[in-house]
Amino acid sequence: MSELSVTVSLVGTDDWLTDIRTSYDTVADSYAGQTREALDGTPYIRAALALFAELVSAGGGGPVADVGCGPGHVTAHLHDSGLDAFGIDLSPVMIDVARREHPGLRFEVGSMTDLPLADASAAGLVAFWSLIHLPDHALPGVLGHFRRALRPGGPLLLGFHAGETSRLKTEGYGGHPMKVYVHRRKPAFAAAALRDAGFAVEAQMLVDPDASLPGAVLFARRPSAPTGR
Ligand SMILES: C[S@@+](CC[C@H](N)C(=O)[O-])C[C@H]1O[C@@H](n2cnc3c(N)ncnc32)[C@H](O)[C@@H]1O
């Protein structure tokens, strides 16, 4: 009986990751087309990325992981800000697109649920609108990986949809079929999850708070001092 329930739960876990991977494989090209210039029109997001770059540099610099990088425009922006930025994404087609769009940068296929980074190897980590598809139950494990991969004192920058609702997205980026849940989260919920994972939460920003789909940006840091974790 217990063996059966373990099997069922593992199959369920694989399903949602497979759905995300397949969905972003399908939309990779059109997503790249729609987001290539996206940062040009978002001064507050650019300001958050500039502040993040300043925090990484103030800590001595080093490799910065853009986790769930998609087509790599944020990775490239961080690189242009002077950081040694590289990208990781679940979708192999997204990674192909990122390599094509930014041939001088490093991009690798990998999942944040099993983050392929050595302990304390990242000087900073960004996850921009890539946690939005993750079910709540997967958050502690993923944030644990982020904390593990960051050097003590390393900053973390999260961007996500602010709100409380979740919906199943069945098409996107020009009518292509998708099957992903999109989870909006309250900044206070995300901040609590970060604290639970051992992060110090340092700042938050709401972008377009009166829009139908506000954005949230959170700055956190792996504490320098030992916390017993
Ligand atoms: C909405 S897009 C965001 C892309 C990019 N960060 C941006 O800001 O435009 C979500 C991205 O997260 C990636 N992603 C979702 N789940 C992931 C996981 N478990 N590990 C790595 N990447 C993941 C998807 O493949 C997709 O490229």
pLDDT given at position 226: 60
Tokens 């199959």 locate to 11
* pLDDT at residue 14, rounded to an integer: 65
pLDDT in tens, 24-33: 999 999 999 9
Q: For residue 7, what pLDDT is reported?
A: 37
Q: Which residues of the chain have pLDDT under 70?
A: 1-14, 225-229
Nearest to 227 by CA among 200, 201, 191: 200
* Euclidean distance between the first and the last CA atom of the chain, given in angstroms as a whole number: 34
| Token code pair at residue 12 | 């369920």
In this prediction, residue 116 carries a pLDDT of 98
What is the model's pLDDT at position 99? Answer: 98
Q: What separation in Å is there between the alpha carbon of 111 and the centre of ligand 1?
A: 9
CA dist., res. 94 & res. 77, Å (int):
17
CA-CA distance, 99 to 8, in Å (whole number)? Answer: 36
For ligand 1, say whether the CB of 128 is within 6 Å of any of its atoms: yes
Integer Cα distance of 110 and 87 in angstroms: 9
- Within the chain, where are the H helices? 2-35, 43-58, 73-80, 92-101, 139-149, 187-196
Q: According to the model, what pLDDT value does residue 2 have?
A: 37
What was the pLDDT predicted at 10? Answer: 44
CA of 130 to the centre of ligand 1 (A): 4
Among protein residues, the one whose CA lies closest to atom 18 of ligand 1: 111
Determine the distance separating the centroid of ligand 1 and the alpha carbon of 57, expressed in angstroms.
25
In this structure, the strands spanning 106-109 and 84-89 are parallel
Is the distance from CB of 42 to CB of 74 less than 8 angstroms?
A: no
